[in-house]
Structure 1
Amino acid sequence: MTTRRKTSTAAARPAVSSRTHAAAATPRTVATAAVPEPGPLDPADLPVRPGEDPWTAEEVVELRDELTAEAQRLSLEIDTAEAAISGMMRDSGDGAGDDQVDAGTKNISREHELALANNARDMLAQTERALGRLKGTGFGLCESCGNAVGKARLQAFPRATLCVQCKAKQERR
């Protein structure tokens, strides 16, 4: 596994919000446009694999509630990471007298927080997309082959967009 090394911390700065530290610490709410309101979804319209029971209204509501809670948790996680990054960036110029180990530790901490924030942003985008698909069309269908992803798979991982076979093919590449 190869890792990329950043030559300067300036490359990391665009990912940091320009908000103040106090504003970054306040939790953001998930926008109603990003997280669709529950719609008149007929659970019978959701695809299932052969041998699986059809979706019930309670299961769909539980899945939607789980995705909504996950979106809110991820938004809070992003805000927390941005606040930490903002604090690190603000304190980075205060390294007078730091030796190389201290400077390296600060860089590693900053890169770790950036990675956490970026991962949370990716997961939030996937979660919001799953909520949109759940309300609209396409939820439960494999984006590669068009077959059902599977009810059990979606209950375990609601952001899944590929069936097990297509996901295995993707991972082999």
Structure 2
Amino acid sequence: MLVNGAVITGKGAAKSRTAEEVELIRDILRGRYDDANSEYEEALAASHKLRLVEIGDAAGDDQADSGSKTAERDAATSLLRTLLDRRTQAEHAMQRLEDGTYGNCEGCSNPIPVERLEVFPSATTCVNCKQNRERRAG
């Protein structure tokens, strides 16, 4: 596993990350960015289509129709925000890779555990700092 400027090959064994390994990480992050971007563009087009239908189909709406349309619009907006956030996270991770800070926590500067990066390659914080941020925000 590639993390923190090192290739982890077992219990604590590590060596410097090669150009090929950096390229592999970059490809993974680029794939995540491209996927999120495609999903975002599709959702954006669907949202625009939904709004056009709403504009042309508003005559004679009762409260239930208006409420349903509002709920659909809110769900579409929430989806767009989520997809944009995923795309931004991948973009940020690619920038951190270029800067040489990928794999280190933005909060405490300690290495982010390999297991966390395997599950979430765009992670910028260790679990402890993430939990602390969530507690403060909640």
TM-score tier, shorter chain, comes to: 0.7 to 0.9
The one-letter code of the counterpart of 2:51 is M
Per the alignment, do residues 45 and 76 of structure 1 end up closer, same or farther by CA in structure 2, a change over 3 Å counting? closer
The percentage of aligned residue pairs carrying the same residue is: 35
Q: TM-score, normalised by structure 2?
A: 0.80
C-alpha distance in 1, partners of 2:68/2:90? 33
1:54 alignment counterpart: 14
Q: Name the CA distance, whole Å, in 2 between partners of 1:45 and 1:77.
A: 30
Matched, 1:145 2:108: yes
Amino acid at match of 1:126: Q
| Structure holding more strand per residue | 2
Q: Which structure has greater helix proportion?
A: 2
- Aligned with residue 96 of structure 2, among 112, 121, 133: 133
Partner residue, 1:113 = 76
User: 1:117 is paired with a residue of what secondary structure?
Assistant: helix
Q: 1:151 to 1:44 in 2, by over 3 A?
A: closer
1:74 correspondence with 2:36: yes
Q: Which amino acid aligns with 1:46?
A: G
C-alpha distance after superposition, 1:102-139 (max 9, x if no partner): 11111111110111011111111110010111122211
How many angstroms does 1:45 deviate by? 6.3
The residue number in structure 2 matching 1:63 is: 25
Q: Aligned Cα RMSD in Å?
A: 2.5
Cα distance change on mapping 1:45 and 1:142 into 2, 3 Å: closer
> What residue ranges of structure 2 are gaps of 5+ in the alignment?
none
The separation in 1 between residues aligned to 2:40 and 2:67, in whole angstroms, is 24
- 2:65 maps to which residue? 102
Gaps of 5+ in 1: 1-42
Tell me the TM-score normalized by structure 1: 0.65
